[in-house]
A and B are shown apart, each in its own frame.
Chain A
């Protein structure tokens, strides 16, 4: 546990040292704030005390932000040779991967924490559905976990950050858009399967306020598969 914590701490610190974290937080808040309060189908346009516009924007922002965080995590260590340095310290491959995972997740949590004032503002404006807001936050966090898993896997495949970013977006697009689109064209089992694989459908069902264990298990399994495949890629050095 201590090793995971140390790796996460170092990683998180490097996010803040390299300005990545500040840029992410500022851009995320500016982006989501703009569409939540000022433009398009914003809260005042809808006329309801709901954070739905915010979560719709944050869903897509996170989809692009996470690959840009995860792309360097393993790829850069491989390229610089620091992977050899860190893996010859008394840590296991799993501790290394979980350290990276939690660093990224924690940065997302910090970013989301900055959006809590939106929630209080809306609460001040009218009767907000607390359960739905809580569920939507949960959904966003769960979705982030899965995307981090995918991102880490992409980063473990290559030692080029850009390639890692593109792979991560490519895989992500399937889960976020393509499976859902295809499921509309198919009936029966295939349609069900495609719908089940789509992050979007699970995210929607959670953010409606229905916290179903199937959705939660889905996100955890997807995350685990991502991390497990990263671990396998790391162990390939043993072959």
Chain B
């Protein structure tokens, strides 16, 4: 379990990876709501992406219905964002549950 400071720092990396140095989005046509569920923290976080621009990050009491849902421990999330754990390894070890389309899986490789 990680503290909120590290969790938010990890979320910050999503923003960094989705925006190029010139301020334009890496995925300009991608609009999605993504729910991150951290069972160890008993927290849901909703990330809204509009035309490739990360918008609000909102803590929720319950999981909303979204097209992309990711469930993992907060520790796994931080390791993924810090690139000390690969997405492939996380999936094959059962550390992450993902519900998404193939297209969204591909796009999420930009930031995870």
Do A and B pair up? The answer is: no
